[in-house]
Structure 1
């Protein structure tokens, strides 16, 4: 595992399988959630590595959000954009989900081109084309991954949405209706008290109405990543690597 600087972002990089000088057969980019330290998802590389064929190599990139949250009482915590947690939790508690769905978060439009530059740097670093990428994230990272994939010209092999939600609804609908057809794995807990299950369902229905293939994996639990979600994630990585 190495820690690299790509397009101004810190990235944890993990290679599984194959000799060090061999280019990867598939690339995985996974973005952490709000308040995480930036490397909390790194162990998932080993977790899903058991699905990867022995003769294939996969490179995992775990980029670190640009915002530090020490001043907000989260030492070491990182974020992709700032969140008004009180407003979010109030919307969840009052079931005022339209506000959540329609809001374009402050900072997302500024982050969008920067994250695109990061993805360009990852393609150059890995030597892999976009169609051999699996791109996703957890919570806020899942929303960032969704926003990027909906707005890019070349579709990845799969989009992975762990405990994400519908945001920027008007913008996402326009983008979803015009972007290449996507294969999506979406997983969400029925008892999620941070990002409501109904918001995940709204995202699923929006994607399906726009013509995308969505494998929706609900589970009994809260704001986390399920075993079933990890299995589907690993199977998609294996399929991409195996077809290279």
Structure 2
């Protein structure tokens, strides 16, 4: 036996084996960081998630780009967060695509082709049964996002699908339509009360949801309940703890209260 030849061959096998082990360890490490990134993000352990997400992003994981982008947005790093989510969407990560689509729908200056694509994309999500996408499709037709002609009937259709899955935001917006769509088949003041009470039971300190409940009371000509509820709305909106509560918002709520004191329900032509 040629001992030197044997050692050379054995060394080659050993080196090859070591290379394979290192490769597997590297791949496993990459997968580990990505998994831990998502796990800790979902459990809101953001400090731990941050380091794993950063490492996974360096290793090219598209899902981790999205999770890291979300954390950057929450921490005030808007540009970095948006860029990461954009990159994740371009790589095909579904949650990032959804997030980017919402941004497009909320944009004021959007080319018609881009707007049309965003609506089609959101509709695909909604038709797949996603209750959040159904909520956003309702918003498209209630508020007329990206130049879409408002249609409370279309909005009601999408909100109703979402409500059937327990989506609270859709319950609130559908209650708003039921309370204010006077002179149409959509006007359903009793249904508005029922939905609004369910929403407020889950979020008793939300000035926006309470404002809808007050409107529902007024639609039912229960102006005393409307006044009491709207006073609670104003108290919350004027509190120092209220985030994103502007002077304009307080004036908006005050206008509702004034109408209720005059025993007048809210009027908003949703059919234009």
TM over 0.5: no
Q: Which has the higher strand share?
A: 1
Q: Which has the higher helix share?
A: 2
Q: Give the number of the structure whose alpha-carbon radius of gyration is greater.
A: 2
Q: Give me the TM-score of the superposition, normalised by structure 2.
A: 0.25
Q: Give me the TM-score of the superposition, normalised by structure 1.
A: 0.27
Higher relative contact order (CA 8 A, sep 6+): 1
